[in-house]
Structure 1
Amino acid sequence: MREDASSSQPPRSDVSAGVGLVGLAGLLGWIAFCRAFPDISTALDLPGPHARLAGPYAALCGLLASGVPMVLWSILVDKVHRRPSTGLVLGKRGPAHSTRAISFTKLTGLWATWAVIAVLYGLCRWYWDGNYLFAMEVLAYAAVPALILSVPYIFWIDRRMEEPRDGTWHFGAFLLAREEWDREKVIGHWRAWIIKGFFGAFMISILPGGFAEVVNADPAALATRPGALALAVISLLFVIDVQIGTVGYVMTMRPLDTHIRSGNPFLAGWIAALLCYPPFVYGITGAGGLLSYENNAPGWQHWLAGEPWLMALWGGWLVVLTGMYAWATVVFGLRFSNLTYRGVITHGPYRFTRHPAYLSKNLFWWSAALPFLVTNGGLLEAVRNVVGLALVSGIYYWRARTEEAHLLREDAKYREYHAWMSRNGPLTVAIGALGHAISRGRSQQPLHPAE
């Protein structure tokens, strides 16, 4: 039964709360194991160095620790593989030869897509520097297993799909020039794979740094330093966000109902999103960037130094904001990714505002950077910083609006959710009322006749 906008409850979410929770539990358990490994290895008299598991491959194993529980929950509890939205009919199992030609065409399209992405990785210089080197190493090792496993997977799934001629097939048909292909399907195929290729590499690249910091953290040394303790908790929350988010990019599979239904079709949406990530973001908010907002602004720890209670309170506020940001990713479970439509999330922080991640992230930047407090440059420097961060927040507002336009176009459930939030979402209603009040105040200002 559909919920209307006046209902006390939003439409039912396409992802249950349990998916993200078991993924979070698995990840936290893995982090605890990595921290306790010296004691475990000593107790079991294991060979090798008895040190914490803080390396990049331990971070990579965190994807399994969080991803496997989420997959099992999705299949065994939520039974997502039975949903009509998968496009699969599991009872359907025609003869292998009936879809063999389709599968060969689809494999052509898939392997050609991977080849193009590999060439782009090779040509773009930023992928061969810094954190991205780890991502390139991981993807290089994964290439051969992916090629091998794609063959049985494609043959298996094509026999069970209601319509196996998807975007990948249409791209293969275009390359082989044997059958009619649909231009829009090919464009949709490439939207999805550009998103996976661009953001997937970025997410893998940032896995090791935060994970090592969390595993090696010393709680005893942090307990008496409220600022450092807050930063350590914030680091843990960012690790949770990155780990769960990376699983979402990896697990785009029809049997789990996590496939990409569509990529954002609006150019404005792509521009707004890409401006927020490397390498483009370096020219926006990096050192000397167009909208750099931390020039001569040392931030909250500098200004609250010597005030431990204020430091603790402000650090706690930043932890709350980061917690909302991480929570907004966790509730996606296996479906997190930018610029995509993969179902509708209506629970967790998405019951308070349609964009909890963007709201909390921008509040965090304003609260942490305090761009209006500067040590040098005076009022002009403070104004530059404030204007810069205000424009960054404007980019995120623009990004949110383009994402809404995409989802409103794609899914009736999202339209119901959008309407419900306009009437019932606490933060959405409050922000909307503030905007209306400002607009009304401007329109009611008295007009002064010319002198």
Structure 2
Amino acid sequence: MANATVKPESPTRLWINLIGLLCSLLAVAAIKYFNLELPVRTTVAVLVCLALALPIIILEAWRLKPQTNSSAGLQLDKRRGNWPRTLTKLVGFYACLGLVALVYWILPEYHGDFYQHYFFVLFAFLPYWLLLAIPYFYFVDSAMQSPKDAYWRLGRLVLAKPITDTDRANADLGQLFLGWLVKLFFLPLMFVYLGNNLETLLNSNSQLFSGGFQQWFDFAFNFLYYIDLLIVTVGYVFTLRLLDSHIRSTEPSLLGWAVALMCYQPFWSLFSGTYIQYDQGPAWGHWFWQTPWAYGLWGAGILALLMIYVWASMAFGIRFSNLTHRGILTNGPFQFTKHPAYVSKNLSWWMISMPFMVSASLDQTLRQCAMLLLLNGVYFLRARTEEKHLSCDPAYVAYANYMEQHGLFSGLGRALPWLRFTPGKLFSSGQRPPQKIKSSLQFTADRKSVG
């Protein structure tokens, strides 16, 4: 297999993302130290998100120049403005926002108090967003190599103007709507969770650091998840072609959507309450509370797995998003396995819930272990559907082939041939025909995996 061991370069740099995180944490520290009178979970959440995103954007523009990547589809040195086409795109963009607003208005899920802080921020910043969209769309349109994109096609449709390539238009519009569906579902959920964790962080007592590990564990646990939610929230906001962080494609299969959405509220409550109640027994702290050294050892293991999980999120920078392809990530923990976040998260659940330690009965213990294995299976299907989706990109094919030879779990593919990566398929037949892989010079450093 020619060049199968070549690993494409990642479009992000971990040191850049770490600088962004440091700036955001300094903003949190300043807000806490000076006791600034800002409404928690609203203005503060926006500030810490910007403190993360802006340094990353500036440093990437300076060192990596993502706007010059071939996947951005821009030629900034050959810009030619076209106001009629830009206005048509703006009509399409505003139509998308109108559809999002319609979904929020119709669905009862978004009418309770849970999302009130998200809608407060949305309504506060929406006018500025609508205005900034005008120069942004004009500038990007003037530099696009193929300016007649999905927004232009939707704008033509709204304005009742003819579109010649109907098949292409249908595919583009379908992908556009799916991309916005990802945003309208995940962004409010992640923003609310971020606000909750940020409030806990701001209200934390500095004296906990003088206590033992048992006092410190809860803070560290919340802090790690806060970092993850911060990166995730920023990722759903900054999907911009100018930063080469736009959505290339969205998961096209119903299975991919199903296994992803069932892991998040409100679907998770429905699914877990009926089929996966694996955490009914005492959690890990119950078993080790009276034995501090065992509590510290087990808790450190949990935190180590969460640190790997957060490390994987950090590798995304401003490009995180479920169910979408925004480039191929090969750095950070992704240089060791294709799904470091899923592996570490699922292992941590075994350590946290400890279903194998249920004291009620052997029958109950086996049942809860089986239910957690079922949840592990859901994440396995998430990984496989993501790989099938991403295999439309030759860079991901090269990356997956590289990992099959050099990854931590490369032995699994050799032992279980049906687990081998096969482009466009969930599972391998076990006998893969020879493939010609493009030279590494043909791969750009502008793609990254969804993970």
State the TM-score, normalizing by the size of structure 2. 0.87
Conservation of the 8 A alpha-carbon contact between 2:43 and 2:121: no
Residue matched to 2:175: 188
Aligned residue number for residue 364 of structure 2 = 381
8 Å CA contact 2:236–2:321 kept in 1: the answer is: yes
1:416 has 2:398 as partner: yes
Deviation at 1:431, TM superposition (A): 4.3
**DSSP-derived class of the 1:30 partner:** helix
Give, in angstroms, the shift of residue 118 of structure 1.
0.6
Moved more, 367-376 or 276-285: 367-376
Counterpart-to-counterpart distance in 1, 2:414 and 2:220: 34
Q: Paired residue for 2:219, among 232, 249, 257?
A: 232
SS at match of 1:206: helix
Instruction: For 1:435 and 1:318, locate their aligned partners in 2 and report how far apart those are by CA, in whole Å.
Output: 29
Determine which of 328, 337, 342 is the counterpart of 1:353: 337
Q: How many residues align?
A: 415
Which residue of structure 2 aligns with residue 32 of structure 1? Answer: 29
Distance 2:239 2:246 in 1: 4
In the alignment, is residue 5 of structure 1 matched against residue 1 of structure 2? no
Aligned counterpart, 2:271: 284
Q: Deviations over 1:131-174 (max 9, x none)?
A: 32211222222222222221222122211111111111112222
Distance (Å, rounded) in 2 between the aligned partners of 1:87 and 1:174: 24
Q: What are the residue-to-residue correspondences of 1:138-177 with 2, within 5 Å? A: 138-177=121-160
> Displacement of 1:63 after TM fit?
0.2
Residues 41 and 192, structure 2, Cα contact 8 Å, conserved in 1: no
1:102-251 equivalences in 2 (<5 Å): 102-180=85-163, 181=166, 182-251=169-238
Aligned equivalents of 1:53 and 1:226: distance in 2?
31
Specify the code of the residue in structure 2 equivalent to 1:416.
A
1:71 to 40, 51, 57: 57
Q: CA deviation at 1:381?
A: 2.5
Partners of 2:16 and 2:209 in 1: how far apart? 32
Distance 2:238 2:270 in 1: 31
Read off the aligned partner of 1:279 and give its amino acid letter: P
5+ residue gaps in structure 2?
420-451
State how far apart, in whole Å, the 2-side matches of 1:117 and 1:68 are: 26
Correspondence for 1:262 among 249, 267, 271: 249
Deviation at 1:232, TM superposition (A): 1.2
**Deviation at 1:437?**
13
Structure with larger RCO (C-alpha < 8 A, sep 6+): 2
Instruction: Output the CA distance in 2 between the equivalents of 1:142 and 1:175.
Output: 25
Please list the CA deviations of residues 176-219 of structure 1 after superposition, one character each: whole Å capped at 9, or x if unmatched. Answer: 23121511111111111111111111111111111121222224
- Pairwise CA distance, 1:414: 0.8
Q: Are the counterparts in 2 of residues 222 and 229 from structure 1 also a CA contact under 8 Å? A: yes
Gaps of 5+ in 1: 42-48, 439-451
Aligned 8 A contact 2:359 2:365 in 1: no
Contact 1:22 1:70 in 2 (8 A): yes
Please give the TM-score of this superposition, normalised by the length of structure 1: 0.87
Letter in 1 for 2:33: A
Q: Percent identity?
A: 34
Distance, in Å, in 1 between the alignment partners of 2:217 and 2:407 is 29
Change beyond 3 A, Cα 1:220–1:53? farther
Alignment match, 1:21: 18
Contact 1:15 1:331 in 2 (8 A): yes
| Structure 1 pair 126–375 and aligned structure 2 pair: CA distance change class (3 A) | farther
* Distance change in 2, residues 1:130/1:290 (3 Å): farther
The Cα of 1:5 is off from its aligned counterpart by 2.5
Give distance in 1, aligned partners of 2:228 and 2:145.
35
Contact 1:230 1:315 in 2 (8 A): yes
Distance in 2 between residues matched to 1:6 and 1:158, nearest whole Å:
38
CA distance in 1, matches of 2:208, 2:192: 29
- CA deviations 1:296-325 (Å, max 9, x no partner) are x12000011111011011111111111111
Letter in 2 for 1:323: M
Query: What residue number does 1:429 align with?
Result: 410
Instruction: Identify the match of residue 364 of structure 1 among 348, 354, 359.
Output: 348
Cα RMSD (Å) of the superposition? Answer: 2.2
On the 8 A contact 1:34/1:54 being kept in 2, the answer is: no
Residue identity matched to 1:215: L
Q: Does 1:315 align with 2:288?
A: no
Flag as ranges the 4+ runs of structure 1 deviating above 3 A. 52-56, 430-438
1:91-123 deviation line (CA, Å, top 9, x unaligned): 1232x4xx2221122111111111111111122
